[in-house]
Amino acid sequence: MADLSNLTGLVSEPSGESDSSASSASNRSLRLAEKQKRKGEADPFGVAVKFLSQVEAGTVVRGNDELERNIVVVETVAVSKGLSPEVITVLLDLALSLNAGTANCTRVLKFLIPATVVPQEAIVKGVSWLCVGKMPINAQVLFVRWVLTVFDLIDCKDNLRSIYGFIFSFVTEENLCPFICHLLYLLTMREQVHPYRVRKLLDIQAKMGRQPFLTQLLVLYKVFRPDLVMLSHPARVRTGFKNHNSTWKVALSAVQRKNKGAVLVDQSLSLDVKEKPSSRKRKLHHLAIPPLSSAFDSNSSKKAFRLQELRSFKELLENIHNIELPAQMGSLLGSALALHYLDCVQDESAFLRLNFWLGHSLQEEFLLCPVDGSSDNTSEACRFLSTILFSQQFLQEGFSSTESFLYKFLSVWDGSLLRPQILDLLSDIPLMPSFYMHKLLFEPLKQLYFTSTVFFKCSVIECLNSMLVKWLTWHSVSASEGGLDISLNSNSTMTMTLSGFMDSVMELVRFVGLLASEGLRLENCHILLLNQTLAFYETVCDMFLKYSLPLVIMPPAGVFYPALFATDSISVDRLGYIMYRYRKNLTLAKKQEQQREQTFHISRNTYKEFNRNLQAMVNSMWNSWWGIPGSDLEIDKDLIALSKVSEPWCRFDLIHHPALFSYAIEFHQRCWPERKDVDLGSIKTGKYWNWYMEFLFNQGFDGLNNFIQTNTGHGISCQDDRQPSSQT
Amino acid sequence: MEGRGSAVGTPASRPVTRRSKSYGRSCVEAPSYFWQTPGHLTVLKIPTSRDAAKSQIITNKVDPEHIALLVKNEWKLSYVTPLHCFRHTQLKSYSNHLSAFIVAEKQQGVAVEVGLEAGFKVTFTAVLGLAETDEDAETVFIQIQSKPVFAAAADAPKVVWRGWLTCVNGDPEYLRSLPPDFVSLPLFCTSGPESLTTLVKSWFERAFDCNFGSLALNSTTLNWLAALWTGCHPTCNIRYLKLAWSLPTQPPLDVSYTVNPQDAWELWNSIHTEESTDDRIDIKEVQSFMNGLETHFFRHFKIYLSAGTLVKVSTALGSAQLDGKIKIGNSDYITTLLTLLTECALLKMLT
């Protein structure tokens, strides 16, 4: 790349082939000497630039071959490699001064392709040439279009902003106006918005009508100074600027591709304004997220950053200390970037505003004017709730207005309207004292649960599972920060102690236990419901290990036995996993308890319950015998005999269990393919047993595998039933 | 979430640590007392007794010209959530801004300079003195005049829309719980074309981040008014007590029931004995008053009015309709009416 630093060292000398051809008659030695000389010289480009920098006003252009030749040299380099900042300064000055004539002015502008950046001073000088007013209008337009095209490549814009007034004065030029508006749009800061400028633009608007470029600039003015200008967008009018870079686009992108690593110009300079015009025709507009707009009496002296201006996360980080809240807090939910900001907002009033708006919207839509069921309405409501859900999930916390809305809504809900959204919102309900849970949550949910389909039951269990996970996660975070007491409210009217938290969790688990066991009974142990229930207990069994909550709650018999005797293998496997995790949790609890007596205490009953379940499971699956001595689950032998099932005691072992039976058959077929009559009993003998275990666990029954490994020791004799160490 | 643990130990009511992330719960503790904290959902209770209507010469307190604006018109009621950053000192600039807003909305896409009067003139006025307690914010009256482009210079601008925001005897506990940058004027009365009402509402929503909802009255409120107004008869002639019922028959039956004021008062007086010291009226008394009227009607027409809905109550002191329209007939009893309506607005907002 030619640099002008060597330009200064150059002597102004005629160069180039045409020159030598002109002196063709001169003798050979002279030519040789000249050739020699040229070799020592720098490239012809530097010479050409040097020449062009010295073109003076009043130079004859027509028939000036020398000028033409030099322009061609520079043009070739420009379109292939681009021009350095210094050369751009020189050429822009040459073109706009009209020293090389009007035709050359547009010609030079057209190949003014920057290689790296464009010096700001060149543009400032260009604007001053514009002010001289000699340039023909098409050249003026071309110049401003060029500035717009290379705007992102201008090294610095502060001086350009300081001549804002000069640039602004060109808005009155009818031909220039669209481009000047765009340039002003890119340059405008709050300081530049003045009443007289607003008035000027409004005058022009009165003359030219609603031109998109004027509207766009005025919209920006309104962003900065809502107290000066008022504007409402019709839905139809297209906003934004056109691209004016067509002349340079191809060459510029080619040069930029070549000079990779240099600054990249954003080819799509047109800014589309994010404000989405609402096309809804509904009169009641409770469900619209308001657009971002500046607070109307924003302090004029304050130099704050507005959320509408925010384009990237980086900008957010740079201005995070200085961001002005929008006029309507609800508008924050409309943009992901704004949600990031919401996460850092400390202002109490801001949250109150948000909650007022949200509470009002929800109340008006769902409680005061009930949805008439028309599909349009529902889809809108669905979108609105999804937005809230998205925001809540993003912030990892529910809004209090949603919460209080849900308590009211649950009592009137039919259980089907917007079910997925409502249940998802429900799962975001924060922890509350167990005292309120019954009245506000459990009672209405219970009514809905027992009167609805099995799928609704599944959804409810799933929802409560996710609620429990959120509570536990929240606890594990706050516990790791050292505070055991949890303040629900900094007013400290409602403080929740650890035991209070445990009470709430216990209450929730007990409630789900009740729903699940009754539900399973009502729905004949529906497989989906059973699986949702087991998913819930997968969360419950790990509360101590995973979430460091010293609480172990066993599933009720109404859940345990349906899972143990389930006909699908997945449920049985899940139960195996759950029992395995319970054992891990209890073992750890026991160990900690022995080490430091003061920590906590898990009641003997829990261990007893666990051991009883464990025994039942190991006995029926492994030991092929029934009945736990001392338990209430013994069945009268005569009664079983009446069923005429042969060998009833081994009906639920790993071979005959209805969930695993098909695997046993398959195994049998593989071992003894030629055998006609199936004798599953033969699996139990010798090495076949170990093979069968291996076969079974290769089917993906990791839960059962873990369970059997920890509780019996895999592959060892059937009688080796090691009870957990935590047994009391 | 970090804030939670340490917030307990912070003696000041305002947490200094990072806001615990329960939006609105720990950061807006005070209002949550009413609105957010579970278990406190029903703190704002529907009152079962209230003071008897007392006549007061309101013009001693309030500019009679202002009062004149409020009476005689029929007003449509709405409720408003608290206004954020509303200042009674800025009314002039609100006037400019709202008029620019209306013009801009009327001609979509054309920008309008704020402060330039074109087409509409908006005036915000503070009606001082209507507030009863220290917590009540002063009433704000808004008037929109239209100035047609081709009107002669002599033509007086025509008033096309009126509205006012008020709070009279608002629940002090609720009002106190709001942070200082909120102003609660929960009752919004409008009179004028619906299109302008919508524009004014949406301007308020944008400027003060508040929300409007329509305020329909319930029949309990109408019962209260019937009793309260009848009770005024000895001091101020109510001239008539008109009640309108709508009965769910096929086709619907509208019953208009006008009672002689003296008869109505005698019935009321037999229920609400004046010996009671604090002169409070209980909801039970109101109920039996209405029952008395209904029984009387049944004796004559064999129609159970209680099967229908009371849709309108009117006396010379004013009228109120179920769909949220009111008229103020006599300014001396305006406080009683506005107290009742403010309460309705707050209850509706916080249901």
Question: Of A147-151, B3-7, B99-103, where does mean pLDDT reach its minimum?
Answer: B3-7
pLDDT surpassing 80 at residue A302:
no
Question: Of A241-245, A390-394, A468-472, where does mean pLDDT reach its minimum?
Answer: A241-245
Q: Are residues B14 and B93 in the same domain?
A: no
* A131 has a chain B CB within 8 A of its CB: no
Report the residue from A229, A436, A489 with minimal CB separation from B113: A229
Confidence of residue A376 (pLDDT cuts 50, 70, 90): low
Report how far residue B326's alpha carbon sits from residue B338's, in angstroms, rounded to the nearest whole number: 10
User: What residues 154-193 of chain B have any CB closer than 8 A to a CB of chain A?
Assistant: 178-179, 181-182
Q: Scanning every residue of chain A, which has its alpha carbon at the shortest distance from the alpha carbon of B198?
A: A283
pLDDT surpassing 90 at residue A42:
no
Contacts 24+ apart (CB under 8 A), A170-176: A170/A130, A170/A144, A171/A200, A171/A201, A171/A204, A172/A200, A172/A204, A173/A137, A173/A140, A174/A208, A175/A137, A175/A140, A175/A141, A176/A137, A176/A140, A176/A141, A176/A144
Report how far residue A545's alpha carbon sits from residue A540's, in angstroms, rounded to the nearest whole number: 10
Q: Are residues B230 and B131 in the same domain?
A: no
Question: Of A399-408, B70-79, B317-326, where does mean pLDDT reach its minimum?
Answer: A399-408
How many beta-carbon contacts under 8 Å exist across A and B?
A: 221
Question: Of A147-151, A478-482, A506-510, where does mean pLDDT reach its minimum?
Answer: A478-482
pLDDT surpassing 90 at residue A478:
no
Q: Are residues B96 and B70 in the same domain?
A: yes
In-domain check, residue B307: yes
In-domain check, residue B207: yes
Give the pairing type, strands A323-324 and A305-306: parallel
Position B126 scores a pLDDT of: 94
Q: Scanning every residue of chain B, which has its alpha carbon at the shortest distance from the alpha carbon of A482?
A: B5
Report the residue from B4, B13, B211 with minimal CB separation from A356: B211
User: What residues 345-404 of chain A have any CB closer than 8 A to a CB of chain B?
Assistant: 345-346, 348-349, 351-357, 359-361, 363-364, 367-368, 395-401, 403-404
Q: How close A709 gets to chain B, by Cα (Å)?
A: 40
Q: pLDDT tens digits, residue range B81-127?
A: 999 999 999 999 999 999 989 988 888 777 777 877 678 899 999 99
The pLDDT mean for chain A works out to 79
Q: Do B97 and A296 touch (CB under 8 A)?
A: yes
Q: Are B133 and B168 in contact (CB under 8 A)?
A: no
In-domain check, residue B147: yes
Q: Are residues B199 and B254 in the same domain?
A: no
Position A134 scores a pLDDT of: 84
pLDDT surpassing 80 at residue A173:
yes
For chain A, domain boundaries: 1-10+42-156+245-271, 287-397, 430-564, 571-728
pLDDT surpassing 60 at residue A37:
no
Chain A residues touching residue B23 (CB < 8 angstroms) = 351, 354-355, 395, 397-400
In-domain check, residue B350: no
User: What residues 399-438 of chain A have any CB closer than 8 A to a CB of chain B?
Assistant: 399-401, 403-404, 407-408, 430, 432-433, 435-436
Position A484 scores a pLDDT of: 45
Q: What does the pLDDT average to over B313-338? A: 93
A9 to each of A46, A50, A166, how far by Cα in Å? 10, 10, 37
Position A269 scores a pLDDT of: 38
Chain B residues touching residue A399 (CB < 8 angstroms) = 23-24
Q: How close A461 gets to chain B, by Cα (Å)?
A: 22
Q: Are residues B106 and B203 in the same domain?
A: yes
pLDDT surpassing 70 at residue A453:
yes
* B129 has a chain A CB within 8 A of its CB: no
In-domain check, residue B84: yes
Share of residues in chain B with pLDDT > 90 (%) = 53
Q: pLDDT tens digits, residue range A651-693?
A: 788 888 889 989 998 998 888 888 878 788 888 887 888 888 8
Q: What does the pLDDT average to over A187-192? A: 86
Position A369 scores a pLDDT of: 66
In-domain check, residue B333: no
* B93 has a chain A CB within 8 A of its CB: yes
Q: Are residues B71 and B200 in the same domain?
A: yes
pLDDT surpassing 80 at residue A631:
no
Q: Are residues B78 and B25 in the same domain?
A: no
Q: Are residues B162 and B260 in the same domain?
A: no
Q: From the CB of residue B118, how many other CB atoms can be counted at a distance below 10 Å?
A: 14
Chain A residues touching residue B211 (CB < 8 angstroms) = 356-357, 360-361, 364
Position A546 scores a pLDDT of: 92
What are the tokens at A613? 């379940």
Position A617 scores a pLDDT of: 87
Domain that residue B28 falls in: 3-35
Q: Scanning every residue of chain B, which has its alpha carbon at the shortest distance from the alpha carbon of A432?
A: B38
Q: From the CB of residue B77, how many other CB atoms can be counted at a distance below 10 Å?
A: 22
Position A438 scores a pLDDT of: 86
Phi/psi of residue B298, nearest 5 degrees: -65, -40
Report how far residue A198's alpha carbon sits from residue A189's, in angstroms, rounded to the nearest whole number: 14
Total-model pTM: 0.78
Q: What does the pLDDT average to over A568-583? A: 94
* B41 has a chain A CB within 8 A of its CB: yes
* B217 has a chain A CB within 8 A of its CB: no
Q: Are residues B79 and B118 in the same domain?
A: yes
Helix (H, G, I), strand (E, B) or coil at A640: helix
* A299 has a chain B CB within 8 A of its CB: no
Chain B residues touching residue A368 (CB < 8 angstroms) = 213, 351
Report how far residue B85's alpha carbon sits from residue A294's, in angstroms, rounded to the nearest whole number: 13
Question: Of A27-31, A113-117, B74-78, where does mean pLDDT reach its minimum?
Answer: A27-31
Q: Do B111 and A201 touch (CB under 8 A)?
A: yes
Question: Of A270-284, A554-568, B176-190, B206-220, where does mean pLDDT reach its minimum?
Answer: A270-284
Position A599 scores a pLDDT of: 58
Report how far residue B341's alpha carbon sits from residue B78's, in angstroms, rounded to the nearest whole number: 10
pLDDT surpassing 50 at residue B147:
yes
Position B262 scores a pLDDT of: 93
| Listed residue (A348, A357, A337, A351) closest to A287, CA to CA | A357
Q: Are residues B72 and B199 in the same domain?
A: yes
Q: Are residues B113 and B147 in the same domain?
A: yes
In-domain check, residue B10: yes
Chain A residues touching residue B175 (CB < 8 angstroms) = none
Position A673 scores a pLDDT of: 86
Position A36 scores a pLDDT of: 55
* B16 has a chain A CB within 8 A of its CB: no
Chain A residues touching residue B33 (CB < 8 angstroms) = 493
Dump strand ranges (E) for A263-350. 305-306, 323-324
In-domain check, residue B48: no
Which 8-state DSSP code applies to residue A118? B
pLDDT surpassing 50 at residue A606:
yes
The pLDDT mean for chain B works out to 82
Count of the separate structural domains present in chain B: 3
pLDDT surpassing 60 at residue A304:
yes
Domain boundary among B198, B214, B230: B214
Q: How close A221 gets to chain B, by Cα (Å)?
A: 10
- Count CA within 13 A, CB hemisphere, residue A279: 4
Q: pLDDT tens digits, residue range A501-524?
A: 888 899 999 999 999 999 999 999
Highest mean pLDDT among A283-297, B53-67, B175-189: B175-189
Position B325 scores a pLDDT of: 95
Stated as kind and residue range, the H or E segment containing A459 is helix A454-480
Confidence of residue B308 (pLDDT cuts 50, 70, 90): very high
Report the residue from A221, A348, A474 with minimal CB separation from B1: A474
Position B33 scores a pLDDT of: 32
Q: What does the pLDDT average to over A198-225? A: 86
pLDDT surpassing 60 at residue B79:
yes
